[in-house]
Amino acid sequence: MSIIDHLPVLLIIGPIIAALIILAVGWHDRRLCYPVMLLSITGQFIASLIMLLQVIQDGTIRYYLGGWAPPLGIELVIDSFSGFILSTIMLLALLAIVYARRSVEAEVPAEKIVSFYVLIQLLLIGLVGMTITGDVFNLYVFLEISSIAAYTLIAGTRSPRSYVAGFNYLIMGSIAAGFILLGIGYLYVATGTLNMAEIAMLLPASYELSTVHAAFLFMMIGFSIKAAFFPLHLWLPDAYTESPSAVTVIISTVMAKVSVYAMIRILFTIFTTAYIIESFPVTGFILLIATIAIVAGAILAIAQNDLKRMLAYSSISQIGYIMFAVGVANQIALEGGLLHILGHAMMKGCLFMVAGLIIYRMGTSNLLELRGVAQTMPISCAAFALAGASMIGIPPTIGFMSKYYLVLGAFEAGYWLYAAVLLIGSLLAVGYIWRFIEIAYFGDHHGDGHQCASPEGPLSMIAPMVCLALLCLILGIFVEIPMEIIGPAAMILLGGA
């Protein structure tokens, strides 16, 4: 076997080794940590792309850890769905890491930087593991690795409020993990295996068992908390707002998306459409909650006066879009939902990067103090406008494309009313996006030559931000490119091909 065949496991082992190296070299010289991490994550990103291409060409990759076939061993599965999520999160992680360097220097106490980088590395290991594992208990283990890293990272700034936010998330996250573990236990009782594919195979026999129903509900609740699906989102606004900017970027894009990914996996791969639509019809309920989430999240976002907090509430609304697709549960809607996972990761990543840069430069993220900020920071505000347009769903951005698919799917399934609410709800995004635009561009009337000649921030922070903003536009216009992998992924989820 060549090294390419071992890529799935290297994707996890490599970064673990890298984390140890960071710790070791950090002892010697703090400045060496960053290059090691950048190298490791670039490697992961390249590996994820290679595997994605493999999946497109040859179909699903199955890797048995240590050569032990399931049910004895742990299986890593990279199909078009996990391959797609994997490349998405690695792209975001890479850009976030490039962005993180200067931002972390500014916000995290110097003596903590080494452990900070190690924890980011661990967080990513956990998230990558969750994405590619084919074993539910393994999923739980990786979930805990990433969660523990996340609790600590959120509490990483100097401000005491970040400790509270981290602690709150710890409590909520632990409850979620408890639910998930119980659910996994019940599934094991019902089927006698922990391998996802096997569970899916064995489960139909016991669809009527209350053990299975309990397992389903526990896992759903657990993952709803982790994914901040309304109304279990209460940890999210504080966690996003108070954590260091670089961490916000990572948890709001990479971590949030992996949680949603795990939930969709559980719903569609383990329980399959046969269960969630016919035996235990839950999709209608998910659709209802998702629609409420879209509207409620957006309204809460409009009411915020802090840029980061506003974006955090917007995330709650946007998670609603993805869950909307789950609720509609047909091919087109799911394609829209998966596209929105990518699209939302990019636009929210970009928006949080802008917020971080504004904090870096202006020292505040209070909207009321940011009047006319576009004159000082034109590039950031332009990036915000572009990513914001995508958030609203202005064509031809990627946000419009996913909205289009969602509405088309909902129309096709006959959910007229929900589709109408989705369309109107998408306008609520105008409410909060435009609030910033008005303040940034039109707030400071005639701003007497405030223009700054000096660059508005370090290049390493501006470049990834601009890159994401442009991707929102480019991948919207050339939406066929992501669709090539999303189409098969949605088909896999619905049990076809």
The residues of the shown chain that bind another protein, judged by CB under 8 A, are 332, 389, 392, 394-396, 400-401, 404-405, 407-408, 411-412, 419-420, 423-424, 426-427, 430, 434, 438, 441-442, 445-446, 477-480
Q: Which one, of 497, 432, 482, 451, lies nearest residue 84 by Cα?
A: 482
What span, in angstroms and rounded, lies between the C-alpha atoms of 236 and 227? 9
Kindly state the smallest distance separating residue 475's Cβ from another protein, in Å.
12
Considering only CA atoms, give the Rg of the chain: 22
163 vs 360: CA distance, rounded Å: 20
Indicate the residue among 238 and 456 with the shorter CB distance to another protein: 456
| Minimum gap (Å) between residue 435 Cβ and another protein | 10
What is the bridge-based pairing of β-strands 61-64 and 75-78?
Answer: antiparallel
Pick the closer one to another protein by CB: 134 or 336.
336
| Cβ-based nearer residue to another protein, 133 or 375 | 375
Name the minimum Å distance from CB 60 to another protein: 26
> What's the sign of the alpha-carbon dihedral 434, 439, 443, 444?
negative
Residue corresponding to tokens 């939902």: 337
Dihedral angle of Cα 392, 426, 428, 478, to the nearest 10 degrees: 0
Q: How far apart are CA 362 and CA 376, in angstroms?
A: 9
- We find the least distance from the C-beta atom of residue 464 to another protein, in angstroms, to be 21
* Residue number, 171 or 452, with CB nearest to another protein: 452
330: left (phi over 0), alpha (psi -120 to 50) or beta: beta
Helices (H) and strands (E) in the chain, counts: 21, 2
Place of tokens 């915000």: 384
Q: Cβ closer to another protein: 353 or 413?
A: 413
Shortest approach of another protein to residue 452 CB, angstroms? Answer: 14
- Per-residue DSSP letter, 75: E
CB of 240 to another protein, least distance (A): 27
Asked if residue 218 lies in contact with residue 91, where contact means CB atoms within 8 angstroms, the answer is no
Residue 98 Cα to chain centre, angstroms = 18
Return the number of the residue (332 or 338) whose C-beta is nearest another protein.
332
* Residue 436 contacts residue 314 (beta carbons within 8 Å): no
Q: Are 430 and 438 in contact (CB under 8 A)?
A: no
Alpha-carbon distance of 339 to 169, in angstroms, equals 28
| Shortest distance (Å) from residue 56 CB to another protein | 18
CB 413 to another protein: min, Å: 11
Residue whose C-alpha is closest to residue 85's, from 243, 226, 262: 262
Closest separation in Å from C-beta 354 to another protein: 18
Shortest separation between residue 58's beta carbon and another protein, angstroms = 25
- Determine the Cα–Cα distance for residues 438 and 64; give it in Å rounded to an integer: 54
Q: Using CA atoms, how far apart are residues 1 and 5, in angstroms rounded to an integer?
A: 6
Dig out the tokens for 243 from the structure.
């954590």
- Minimum CB distance to another protein smaller for 38 or for 474: 474
Least distance CB 420 / another protein (angstroms): 7
| Residues 200, 285: Cα–Cα separation, whole Å | 22
C-beta closer to another protein: residue 365 or 426: 426
Residue nearer to another protein on the CB measure, 282 or 407 = 407
Q: Which is nearer to another protein, 360 or 405 (CB)?
A: 405
Is 228 or 329 the residue whose CB approaches another protein more closely? 329
Find, among 162, 318, 169, the residue nearest to 253 by Cα.
Answer: 318
Q: What's the token pair of residue 296?
A: 């409620």
